[in-house]
Amino acid sequence: MSLHQVLTILWARKWITLLALLSAITAAVAAVFILPPQYTATTSVMMDTTEPDPITGQTLPSPMLLNHQRTQLALLKSDRVAREVVDRLRLAEDPQYRAAYMEATEGRGEITRWIAERLKENLNAGFVDGSNVMSIAYTAQSPQIAAVMANTFKSTYLAANLDLKVEPARRNAQWYTAQIDGLRRETEEARQRLLDFQQQNKLLVQESEGGGIESAKLLALTERLLDARAQLAATQGGPAVPAETAEDGGTAVTGEMPAEVGPVNRGAAPSPTMIALQSSLASVEAEIGQLSSQLGPNNPKLAALRASRASILSRIEEEEARSLEDQAGFVEALRRHVSELETAVEEQQAKMLDMQDGREQLAALTRELEVRRQRLDEAEARAASLRMQGQQSFINVVSLDEAAPPSRPAFPNTLLILVMATGFGLALGVILSLFIEMLDRRVRTFSDLQDAVGVKPLGALASAKVSRRQMRRSGEKFIGRGGTRMLPAAEPGS
């Protein structure tokens, strides 16, 4: 069937299409006036996913954003939020809801759950494309009820979101608080064991760096011994020789020093008297050298200078002898001091060896006390952190606006219904026209006749209304009242 045939059929049965169109529009207008209006109130919230959560301190990764949004939508439409809305608005006590509940269930089931399910049917929510803004819409027959419901669902959702984050922190804080009592008791027992051991063995807790009081004593004695040996070696004019590297009859550092004191160390700092004598000697020798070229060898002035030089040299020898005696006494005192220090070091080492077992037990008890204190401190810090988290009153979801009572109903939409009714009426009229044509097929065009008989027609009778003057002028013979005239048949091959 060609397009021309379809248009011909529709034009021939145009009254059917027109009747269907008028029926659809009439039904739409009746529906607009009969159906009760539905009002939709909308509010919105925004999730801040860029900043860490104020309670958990975690940042939401980008791949998890879609799942997080779905979770928030599921929470908004959950039974928990809907039941809380019913409780906040006391809908279970409302006579209308109670009557509807009794009519629908005959008193079977829980009324709060039934009302919550009815509320969720009128709730719609979703995220604005490309943003973290969630739109919350509620539809009701009253604009005031729609606004109240939308705002209540939003506030209840925010409260539930906060509770879901702070409630685990509160439960964990209670658990840590119960554990802290046991940890504090164990720490006190460990401290008491350490104190008892110290009192029994007369030991102090080892310091973290010094290794204990006895170790500090040994270290001090060793330093003093090394200083004394260095001073003795400098006074004798030779370094101390360790026991492991002693050669040529050298004496170990921890043993006795040689019986004979070596020569005086000339490199040691001279006394002030020696410095003055050496300065005077240098001046006299310089003056003698200057006058020797000017005066004779027997000149009295030159002879006096030579006598002065001899006197100065004698005094220098006496000063050196006295210094040598003093140094010998000083060396002997240093040797006795070194021997005493070596004895003290050996005694301290023996004492520490005897105390080794006690020190190991003391260290074990100290470590145990430190571990238990560390566990107690960590538990107390964690409990304090959880208690602070449990007291938080804000989250990373904030309200953007409040729902206001809508001024126009969202349903029925008169313009939309009329447009849809017009389209439906036209479509129904076309379908009915074609269906009736199939039941009562008629020949209206050459194509219809050719399809019916399968033979190409020779001609057709065309009807036309003409005047008698046109009849006489044309000379054609018309047949019938309708002015039907004969048309020539088509030429073969045309």
Average pLDDT (64-70) is 85
**pLDDT grade for 43, boundaries at 50, 70 and 90:** very high
Residues 155/403, Cβ–Cβ less than 8 Å: no
If one compares 417 and 480, the residue with the highest pLDDT of the two is: 417
Cα separation of 152 and 150, whole Å? 6
CA end-to-end span of the chain, whole Å? 23
For domain 38-203+396-411, which architecture applies? 2-Layer Sandwich (3.30)
If one compares 112 and 202, the residue with the highest pLDDT of the two is: 112
Residues 306/288, Cβ–Cβ less than 8 Å: yes
The angle subtended at Cα 196 by Cα 193 and Cα 200, nearest 5°, is: 140
Q: Which amino acid is at 329?
A: G
pLDDT(168) > 70: yes
Dump the DSSP string for 392-436: ----SEEE-------SS-SBS-HHHHHHHHHHHHHHHHHHHHHHH
Residue percentage of the chain with pLDDT more than 70: 75
Dump the DSSP string for 169-187: HHHHHHHHHHHHHHHHHHH
Q: Classify burial at 358, counting beta carbons within 10 Å of its beta carbon; exposed 0-12, middle 13-18, buried 19 or more.
A: middle
Sequence-distant (6+) residues with CB within 8 A of 299 are: 291
CATH 3.30.1890 in the chain, residue ranges: 38-203+396-411
- State the alpha helices, DSSP H only, in 202-271: 213-236
Select the highest-mean-pLDDT range: 302-311, 367-376, 475-484.
367-376
Residues 158/164, Cβ–Cβ less than 8 Å: no
Three-state DSSP state, 270: coil
- Cα 5 to chain center, whole Å? 72
**pLDDT grade for 225, boundaries at 50, 70 and 90:** confident
Global pTM reads 0.49
pLDDT(217) > 90: no
Q: Using one digit for the tens of pLDDT, what is the confidence trace for 113-166? A: 999 999 999 999 999 888 889 999 999 989 999 999 999 999 999 999 888 888
Name the token pair of 32.
């607009």
Q: Which amino acid is at 293?
A: S
Name the token pair of 241.
């020789």
Three-state DSSP state, 485: strand
Q: Select from 161, 201, 142, 182 the least CA-distant residue to 74.
A: 161
Q: Tokens 């002030």 appear where?
A: 272
Q: Using one digit for the tens of pLDDT, what is the confidence trace for 7-31? A: 878 888 888 889 988 999 999 888 8
Residues 184/376, Cβ–Cβ less than 8 Å: yes
Q: Using one digit for the tens of pLDDT, what is the confidence trace for 299-347? A: 787 778 778 888 888 888 887 777 777 777 777 888 888 889 889 888 8
Residues 406/143, Cβ–Cβ less than 8 Å: yes
**Phi–psi pair at 215, nearest 5 degrees:** -65, -40
Q: Tokens 């799942």 appear where?
A: 67
Cα separation of 147 and 141, whole Å? 11
Sequence-distant (6+) residues with CB within 8 A of 142 are: 39
Name the token pair of 204.
């102090």
**pLDDT grade for 101, boundaries at 50, 70 and 90:** very high
When mean pLDDT is compared across 37-51, 205-219, 339-353, the lowest value belongs to: 205-219
* Mean pLDDT score across all residues of the chain: 78
Computed on alpha carbons and rounded to an integer, the radius of gyration of the chain in Å comes to 60
Average pLDDT (252-270) is 41
**pLDDT grade for 254, boundaries at 50, 70 and 90:** very low
Q: Using one digit for the tens of pLDDT, what is the confidence trace for 75-91? A: 999 999 999 999 999 99
